[in-house]
Amino acid sequence: MLNRRDLLRHGGLAALALGAARFPLGWTRAADPAKKRVLMYTRSEGYEHDVVKRKGDKLSLAENIVTDLGAKHGVEVQCEKDGRVFESKDFPKFDAFVFETQGNLLGEKSKDGYPPMSEAGKKALLKAVAEGKGFVGSHCASDTFHSPGFPNNRWENQEPDKMDPYIRMLGGEFCKHGDQQKAFMRVADPNFPGLKGVKDFDLLEEWYSLRNFAPDLHVILVQDTMGMKNFDYERPNFPATWARMHEKGRVFYTSMGHREDVWQNKVFQDLLLGGLSWALGNVNADIPPNLDKAAPKAKELPKK
């Protein structure tokens, strides 16, 4: 009989088999035969999402899925919640980082009970990305390292020098979310890796309202707020998935990733694999800034 971890792993592989069919065989692999290494980090300070919760030493659903994606496409994934990894001797060996984190990762206490990242570790991460490592953020990665003044100023945009350096790197910041509901993702770039053949789609998810967008965002998916309920979405359409360059590093973010069924969804997995493959440099994409065209009123936030 399969134990729970085996069931998760086999279930993840079955779902991945569907998603992988959307990719020509091997296109996400590096030309260099040496395996790329990815660090997936999921420490949670104030709220731990179910998709990253572990039971004992068993990997969470999200960790299993990213690990299986990596195994299928020639990428070695190491999953961590211990913040000391950013100052470890292994840290320089990683080629990219995948975050589904929450809150102040420097805080001593956390929902998962793991040691925090240090100031030096945070600087090491940002320096690594600036110097050419890849970064992939999912969902609550934008609810991490908030800029000064949050949450009192959550419905205000800030100048770049007032933002946390992590938020400047990511390209946007979580404001708040309303009830889980179905809403449309509008495809702004159907040519981004993983989105070939994908049209606008609706999905039941916990949707983030976001602010502090970097002006150089290449918007991939747009949150269509038409018909959405709750104050959080009383605003024009805004970016929900994007790519950008942070100096020499490739940064990808998607606001999707709260629900287990979203992590198991073929479209989400394909997009995540595309973003990771691009962040690693295994595939290229044309990512000119398009915020003004894709979501021209994105800076208009709900009015108190």
28, 194 in Cβ contact below 8 A? no
Q: What is the pLDDT of residue 30?
A: 58
Answer whether residue 134 is part of any domain. Answer: yes
Q: How confident is the model at residue 34 (pLDDT cuts 50, 70, 90)?
A: confident
Tell me how far CA of residue 142 lies from CA of 22, 166, 278, in angstroms.
Answer: 28, 9, 19
227 pLDDT exceeds 90? Answer: yes
Q: What is the pLDDT of residue 9?
A: 39
Degrees, nearest 5: CA angle 3-51-76: 75
28 pLDDT exceeds 90? Answer: no
Number of domains comprising the chain: 1
83, 145 in Cβ contact below 8 A? no
Answer whether residue 56 is part of any domain. Answer: yes
Tell me the one-letter amino acid at 283.
V
Q: How confident is the model at residue 31 (pLDDT cuts 50, 70, 90)?
A: low
Q: Which two tokens stand for residue 14?
A: 């079955």
**Average pLDDT over every residue of 192-209:** 97
Distance CA 52, CA 215 (A): 31
Q: Which of 181, 303, 299, 195 shows the shortest CA–CA distance to 241?
A: 195
Q: What is the pLDDT of residue 12?
A: 39
Q: What is the pLDDT of residue 147?
A: 98
27 pLDDT exceeds 60? Answer: no
**Average pLDDT over every residue of 291-302:** 98
Chain-centre distance for alpha carbon 184: 18
pLDDT tens per residue across span 117-152: 999 999 999 999 999 999 999 999 999 999 999 999
Q: What is the pLDDT of residue 21?
A: 37
Q: How confident is the model at residue 219 (pLDDT cuts 50, 70, 90)?
A: very high
Q: Which two tokens stand for residue 174?
A: 């979580």
Answer whether residue 299 is part of any domain. Answer: no
List CB contacts of 235: < 8 A, sequence separation 6 or more: 209, 225, 297, 300, 301, 302
Q: What is the pLDDT of residue 16?
A: 35
pLDDT tens per residue across span 64-117: 999 999 999 999 999 999 999 999 999 999 999 999 999 999 999 999 999 999
Distance CA 201, CA 203 (A): 7
Q: How confident is the model at residue 35 (pLDDT cuts 50, 70, 90)?
A: confident
Q: Which two tokens stand for residue 15?
A: 């779902």
Answer whether residue 229 is part of any domain. Answer: yes
**pTM here?**
0.90
Distance CA 28, CA 72 (A): 10
Answer whether residue 300 is part of any domain. Answer: no
**Average pLDDT over every residue of 239-243:** 98
Tell me the one-letter amino acid at 39.
L
Query: Phi and psi for 281 in degrees, rounded to 5?
Result: 85, 10
* Residue located via tokens 């910041």: 173
pLDDT tens per residue across span 145-171: 999 999 999 999 999 999 999 999 999
pLDDT-wise least confident of 23-37, 67-81, 282-296: 23-37
**Average pLDDT over every residue of 260-281:** 98
Answer whether residue 303 is part of any domain. Answer: no
Instruction: Give the domain CATH number at 134.
Output: 3.40.50.880
* Structural domain range at position 33: 4-294
The three state secondary structure string of the chain is CCCHHHHHHHHHHHHHHHHHCCCCCCCCCCCCCCCEEEEEECCECCCCCHHHCCECCECCHHHHHHHHHHHHCCEEEEEECCHHHHHCCCHHHCCEEEECCEECCCCCCCCCCCCCCCHHHHHHHHHHHHCCCEEEEEHHHHCECCCCCCCCCCCCCCCHHHCCHHHHHHCCEEEEECCCEEEEEEECCCCCCCCCCCCCEEEEECCEEEECCCCCCEEEEEEECCCCCCHHHCCCCEEEEEEEEECCEEEEEECCCCCHHHHCCHHHHHHHHHHHHHHHCCCCCCCCCCHHHHCCCCCCCCCC
